[in-house]
Amino acid sequence: MHIRSSYQHTVLAAYGGYITQAIINNFLPLLLLTFQSSWDIPLPKLTLLISLNFGIQLTVDLICAKVADKIGYRPCIVSAHILAAVGLAGLGIFPFILPDPYIGILISIIIYAIGGGITEVLISPIVEACPSENKESAMELLHSFYCWGHVFVILASTAYFAFVGIENWRFLAYLWALIPLLNAVYFMLVPIRQLNDTSEGEQIPPAKLFRTPIFWLFVVLMLCAGASEQAMSQWASAFAEAGLGVSKTVGDLAGPCMFAILMGTSRLLSSRLTLKYDQSKLMVGSCALCVASYLLAALSPWPIVSLVGCGLCGLSVGMMWPGTFSLAAVACRGGGTALFAFLALAGDLGCMSGPAVVGLVSDAFGGDMKPALLFAILFPVLLGAGLLLCRRIVKASDKSSNSDK
């Protein structure tokens, strides 16, 4: 299995890309309260840090697809990993050398978010373009690796904080930067094909896609999927630590860590369940479970039950993002790369707006996160309603097609 000719290495590098993505999105939220206590950064400004990360990734989603097709996947994905490494290492440098630490954090996020946005756009097409008989299996594993990367970030970071001390977090940022740096070297060596060189069939141009009503319904579904996931994921650590009064170690392990484990498990199981059951029905059930998990987290008087709610939220949201992609691919056949690029953009918009809404509502209630989590129930409710509407549209379309035959 030579590294320069085997596409198995390409897939492994792609898995490493999603681990990098997990580090980018989930390391900084573990430090929000540390930033607040060390540099007296208020809650609205902490909220902006999360929103900035996803906002920049969203912007990159919008422009990356065309650029990557012109200059090639390899230089783009290698550059993305280098930017991720520089940004992560910068977290441990810029805040300490600039007059305003908050500006240093912002600069670091801008750098690694650009890399994260490029990675998000290109990883799936890179795997899809690989000559393989088991692409569906590879894609399912690809999505789950983000979850396992999330778990790895929490467990390793928690162990580091426990043994080395939270005050030495900057050195952990340097260690995390090594992963995208090494994966950049890996991507320099593995074979990479471009999706437009291997695609078959007629593609729908973006202008026609925009005139398709169901496309916009899927945009809303992706926005709600991203918001449902990240509203809990990004604030679970802070909620457990400040809102439930548990220690940081317990909060990180029982909150975001359990969330990520169950989300990864959900994505692995969903590939088998969808072979037997209707995917849209399963997703509606996931939305109901998501509502229940938010209610448990926000309303339970017992911290342990609230933490169970955080974890169950991970199980409920696991299939929302990839499931929406799958439903859209069937309903908007021929949408091609443009369809997935715009859906990823909508998903990132949800990832940005969900945590922002939670932070702003919490600030309005004097820092109490329970009312904010109750408000966030709106996202899975809208997603469930949109899925039911989508089922009606698809059924009506099928009946119309059958009557025309």
Q: Is the pLDDT of residue 135 over 60?
A: no
Q: Is the pLDDT of residue 177 over 90?
A: yes
Q: Is 347 exposed, middle or buried (0-12, 13-18, 19+ CB in 10 A)?
A: buried
Read off the pLDDT of each residue in 165-192 and give the average, rounded to a whole number.
Answer: 93
pLDDT of residue 82: 97
pLDDT of residue 335: 67
Highest mean pLDDT among 80-94, 231-245, 320-334: 80-94
DSSP letter for 245, please.
-
Q: Would you place residue 108 in the very low, low, confident or very high pLDDT band (cuts 50, 70, 90)? A: very high
Mean pLDDT value across the chain: 82
Read off the pLDDT of each residue in 88-99 and give the average, rounded to a whole number.
Answer: 92
Question: Are residues 24 and 112 in contact, defined by beta-carbon separation less than 8 angstroms?
Answer: yes
Sorted by where each begins, the domain ranges of the chain are 1-197, 201-405
Task: Please give the radius of gyration of the chain, using alpha carbons only, rounded to the nearest integer.
Answer: 21
Q: Is the pLDDT of residue 204 over 60?
A: yes
Provide the CATH number for the domain formed by 201-405 in this structure: 1.20.1250.20
Question: Are residues 324 and 218 in contact, defined by beta-carbon separation less than 8 angstroms?
Answer: yes
pLDDT of residue 193: 84
Question: Are residues 90 and 151 in contact, defined by beta-carbon separation less than 8 angstroms?
Answer: no
pLDDT of residue 179: 95
Structure token pair of residue 3: 């590294």
pTM listed for this prediction: 0.75
Q: Would you place residue 50 in the very low, low, confident or very high pLDDT band (cuts 50, 70, 90)? A: confident
Instruction: Report the CATH fold assignment for 1-197.
Output: Growth Hormone; Chain: A; (1.20.1250)
Q: Would you place residue 404 in the very low, low, confident or very high pLDDT band (cuts 50, 70, 90)? A: low
Lowest mean pLDDT among 36-40, 194-198, 368-372: 194-198
Number of H-type helices and E-type strands within the chain: 19, 0
Measured over all CA atoms, what is the biggest interatomic distance in the chain, rounded to whole angstroms? 71
pLDDT of residue 401: 53
Read off the pLDDT of each residue in 184-200 and give the average, rounded to a whole number.
Answer: 78
Lowest mean pLDDT among 4-13, 216-225, 239-248, 293-302: 239-248
Q: Would you place residue 173 in the very low, low, confident or very high pLDDT band (cuts 50, 70, 90)? A: very high
**What pLDDT, in 10s, does the model give residues 280-303?**
888 899 999 999 989 988 887 777
pLDDT of residue 65: 67
Cβ-proximal residues to 5 (8 Å cutoff; 6+ apart), any chain: 191
Q: What percent of the chain has pLDDT over 70?
A: 85
Read off the pLDDT of each residue in 42-54 and give the average, rounded to a whole number.
Answer: 80
**What pLDDT, in 10s, does the model give residues 226-253?**
999 888 876 766 666 665 566 666 666 6
Q: Is 256 exposed, middle or buried (0-12, 13-18, 19+ CB in 10 A)?
A: buried
Highest mean pLDDT among 71-75, 168-172, 248-252: 168-172
Lowest mean pLDDT among 127-131, 138-142, 383-387: 138-142
Q: Would you place residue 279 in the very low, low, confident or very high pLDDT band (cuts 50, 70, 90)? A: confident
Q: Higher pLDDT residue, 86 or 352?
A: 86
Question: Are residues 104 and 98 in contact, defined by beta-carbon separation less than 8 angstroms?
Answer: yes
Cβ-proximal residues to 67 (8 Å cutoff; 6+ apart), any chain: 76
Read off the pLDDT of each residue in 361-378 and give the average, rounded to a whole number.
Answer: 83
Measured CA distances, 306 to 29, 135, 302, 310 (Å): 19, 38, 6, 6
pLDDT of residue 245: 64
Highest mean pLDDT among 33-47, 67-81, 139-153: 67-81
Q: Is the pLDDT of residue 13 over 80?
A: yes
CA 373, distance to chain mean position in Å, is: 19
Structure token pair of residue 398: 């099928």
Measured CA distances, 347 to 145, 190, 222, 293, 342 (Å): 18, 29, 5, 21, 9
Question: Are residues 217 and 389 in contact, defined by beta-carbon separation less than 8 angstroms?
Answer: yes
pLDDT of residue 53: 86
pLDDT of residue 139: 65
Q: Higher pLDDT residue, 64 or 168?
A: 168
Read off the pLDDT of each residue in 307-336 and give the average, rounded to a whole number.
Answer: 80
Return left, alpha or beta for 341; rule: phi > 0 is left, psi -120 to 50 is alpha, else beta.
alpha
pLDDT of residue 378: 92
